[in-house]
Structure 1
Amino acid sequence: MVMSKQVSPHAYTIVEVDYENVERVRRAHRDEFRATEGFGLNYLPFISRAVIDALRNYPHMNASVGDGELIVHNYVNLAIAVDIDFTGLLAPVIHEADDKRLRAIARDINDLAARARSKQLSADDISGGTFTLSNSGSFGSHLVLPIINQPQVAIISTDGVHRKPVVVNGTDGSESIAIHSVGMLAMSWDHRAFDGAYAAAFLRDVKEIIETRDWEAEL
């Protein structure tokens, strides 16, 4: 981690995300999903799927720093940081995640996290990541600025989702106040790889996918 801060000029971009669209789908499918899959459906698979899709249009995000060059990958190997009972972190990898839909991603996250905590990961399970998600939301965090997982160029922290008042825009241009599920996404990125506008546009697209996609179709 010290090496990462010394090598990569860290910069940060943060967006607030309205998860009400996701929350409606989670509530509607909660019982069926748990009965079918054997575990609960949290926010992380939705965020992961949105990140994977957004990376298609921002290839420099899905890259590694080599010897004086930026290596852009044509596949997404999504690393998920897993806390090991406060004794350290592992970041097992969903390989070729860009070929997977929401339910498959949820299964992979659950499987990798369980095997990480039981120390049953293989060397392949923790190698080859091209982009990382760090989920602090289960601890109720509001904003965490993560350290880049070398040699990658970006990492997103998914923080806690909280109920709060938001302004809702009606189709007729009217505004109203409603209570929605809202949380922050904070991205640390390597300023050698791209500039702030590129980072901001990517995170904007992640936010838009989370807020507007028809998630029912993925379940």
Structure 2
Amino acid sequence: MVREFELPDVGEGVAEGELVTWLVEEGDKVSEDQSVAEVETDKALVEVPAPVDGTVRELHVEEGEVVPVGTVIISFDEAGEPATEPSAATREESAAADDTESTAAAGEAPERPSEVQTETEAGSTPDDRVFAPPRVRRTARERGIDLSRIDGSGPGGRITAADVQAANGAESAAKQGQPQSQTPGPTAGEEEPGPSESSETGGGGEPAAEPSPETATGSSRSRWSEPPTQGDADRDRTLAAPATRRLAEEEGIDIDAVPAVEERDGETFVTPEAVQEYAEAQKRAQEADREAVEAGERVETAGQVFAEGERERREPYTGVRKRIAEAMVESKYTAPHVTHHDEVDVTALVAARDELKRRAEDRGIRLTYMPFIMKAVVAALKEHPEMNAVIDEANEEIVYRDYYNIGVATATDVGLMVPVVEDADRKSLLQLSSEMNELVQKARDRTISPGELRGSTFTVTNVGGIGGEYATPIINYPEAGILAIGEIKRKPRVVTDDDGAESIEPRSVMTLSLSFDHRLLDGAVGARFTNTVMEYLENPNLLLLE
């Protein structure tokens, strides 16, 4: 039994994916849940598991191809079920049956009547579906060929590369006015005859070409014909000797597409010479196509002042990079952004982190400043629920969320990702640190799941990791705000002691940049939210209360 497997919906809002790597090949045996491919969606790189135990029958998609969710990407022969594809012997028997029927049509008794089968039946395509490998589909698209108009010569009606080449050769020859038959044309001074027509009745005059007795008994009769178009050669049935069929197969030719100059008992009969001439015409047409393409490329690049590729490099605009761009555009042009900047003295926070860092390392946890910042943000969100809200545009409502899922913007090799730490308000400092470190590493390794990249209610991004101070971060829409953390630097600050005396001291200072949706929040709310975050960062002991 053949099991077709479609690209699954691997995450909310994911409509398509790029097949990055096949982990199996056709003919490989696989077990259920074994990874067979890596697919890059607009959110992550995920591994696609096999749904059954069995053997890989066919890979329907090529590496690098972007396909919509629901597209069949691979098919399997399930374990314990026989493969359904006809064997070479079966195909040979089918061809022999066609030849037997051809012989019977000429008035001779078939040698194996039980195997008589028309080629139309052997090559029919069920349910009007077009079966063709990705490479063949791509070639057809490039050459403007409609696959639905081609009768596949492969098993089960599958369209092969030879079928597409035949269609392309016929169309090219027709456009260029090249004859596809090796039958000699008229010599100089002779009038070229038009296509002959046959008639059984006179109709008041001489028929254009009346079948001779020799033709009726099965002998061949040559005739002139104009170079046929693809429609002329698109036959349901072709008579040919077994040797001729083998020649067509060797040349990669669809015998039904070969123009014929002979008939037997009123039906098209193809000779070895016609197959050979058609193959040569195809090669000439393909060569002409290549020359035309190359000429077009030369024209396109003629205006360049440098060789192609010398100072430019092109990459596909797909996957995560494309999704990031779409999200940025949606956010920037949907939510009116306002960015509020400030500085906070985090000298006490630096001391607290240095003290706790060793204890965290004893537990195998790397403690950064981010868990402290997440704690401070959650505390501020509780005091200013507008910043944890979202606009439901469909219902024209503001939704205030009483859960706190903090997204941590992470730079990866393929662009920015935002792993989400869920229920940050219910986790300790070390829990937040451990979970965040794990998610960030998974994002950078491209092993993170789509579910771990969605559902955030507020996002924090660290621009200080690469030396930045201030930024104007774009909101992770549809959230209401995003907080950018700058680098902690030693700066001179005026410090007032308990007696009111002032002095200038070097202090550890962090910059904050809060972007928020001005539809939801006014500037005053954004400033008060930032002040609350600063209060907790200046006095990290307050975080113990959270």
Scaled by the length of structure 2, the TM-score of the pair is: 0.38
The answer as to whether partners of 1:79 and 1:129 remain within 8 angstroms in 2 is: yes
The amino acid of 1:187's aligned partner reads: L
Q: Matches of 1:70 and 1:132 in 2, distance apart?
A: 19
Is 1:129 paired with 2:452? no
Deviation track 1:112-135 (CA, whole Å, cap 9, x = no partner) reads 101111112122211111000011
The amino acid of 1:42's aligned partner reads: T
The amino acid of 2:512's aligned partner reads: L
The amino acid of 2:359's aligned partner reads: E
423, 445, 451: which one pairs with 1:96?
A: 423
437, 441, 448: which one pairs with 1:114?
A: 441
The answer as to whether partners of 1:10 and 1:189 remain within 8 angstroms in 2 is: yes
Aligned position for 1:81: 409
Deviation for aligned residue 1:20: 0.5
Aligned position for 1:58: 384
Deviation track 1:18-47 (CA, whole Å, cap 9, x = no partner) reads 1111111122233232232242x2211111
Aligned length: 216
Q: How does 1:178-189 map to 2 (within 5 A)?
A: 178-189=505-516
3-state DSSP of counterpart to 1:37: coil
Deviation for aligned residue 1:73: 0.4
Kindly report the root-mean-square deviation, in angstroms, between the aligned alpha carbons of the 2 structures: 1.5
Deviation for aligned residue 1:4: 0.8
The amino acid of 1:19's aligned partner reads: V
Gaps of 5+ in 1: none
The amino acid of 2:373's aligned partner reads: I
Worse-superposed segment, 166-175 or 51-60: 166-175
3-state DSSP of counterpart to 2:537: helix
The amino acid of 2:337's aligned partner reads: H
3-state DSSP of counterpart to 1:187: strand
Deviation for aligned residue 1:215: 6.8
The answer as to whether partners of 1:25 and 1:215 remain within 8 angstroms in 2 is: no
Aligned position for 1:158: 485
Deviation track 1:120-174 (CA, whole Å, cap 9, x = no partner) reads 2122211111000011111010111100001101000011111111111111111
Is 1:26 paired with 2:361? no
Q: Matches of 1:170 and 1:184 in 2, distance apart?
A: 23
Aligned position for 2:501: 174
3-state DSSP of counterpart to 2:486: strand
The answer as to whether partners of 1:137 and 1:160 remain within 8 angstroms in 2 is: yes
Deviation for aligned residue 1:60: 0.8
Worse-superposed segment, 22-31 or 177-186: 22-31
Q: Matches of 1:172 and 1:38 in 2, distance apart?
A: 41
| Structure-2 change in CA distance of 1:71 and 1:31 (3 Å) | same
In terms of fraction of residues, the more strand-rich structure is 1
Q: Matches of 2:544 and 2:521 in 1, distance apart?
A: 34
Q: Matches of 1:31 and 1:99 in 2, distance apart?
A: 24
Aligned position for 2:374: 48
Q: Matches of 2:531 and 2:478 in 1, distance apart?
A: 24
520, 524, 530: which one pairs with 1:203?
A: 530
Deviation for aligned residue 1:106: 1.1
3-state DSSP of counterpart to 2:491: strand
| Structure-2 change in CA distance of 1:215 and 1:27 (3 Å) | farther
| Structure-2 change in CA distance of 1:38 and 1:104 (3 Å) | closer
Q: Matches of 1:52 and 1:216 in 2, distance apart?
A: 10
Is 1:147 paired with 2:497? no
Deviation for aligned residue 1:65: 2.0
Scaled by the length of structure 1, the TM-score of the pair is: 0.93
Deviation for aligned residue 1:66: 1.4
3-state DSSP of counterpart to 2:338: strand
Is 1:8 paired with 2:338? no
The amino acid of 1:49's aligned partner reads: K
Deviation track 1:84-134 (CA, whole Å, cap 9, x = no partner) reads 03x301111111111112221111211110111111212221111100001
3-state DSSP of counterpart to 1:144: coil
The answer as to whether partners of 2:462 and 2:485 remain within 8 angstroms in 1 is: yes
Q: Matches of 2:496 and 2:467 in 1, distance apart?
A: 28
Q: Matches of 1:9 and 1:189 in 2, distance apart?
A: 8
3-state DSSP of counterpart to 2:447: coil
Worse-superposed segment, 208-217 or 162-171: 208-217
3-state DSSP of counterpart to 1:214: helix
3-state DSSP of counterpart to 1:56: helix
Aligned position for 2:24: none
Q: Matches of 1:50 and 1:163 in 2, distance apart?
A: 22
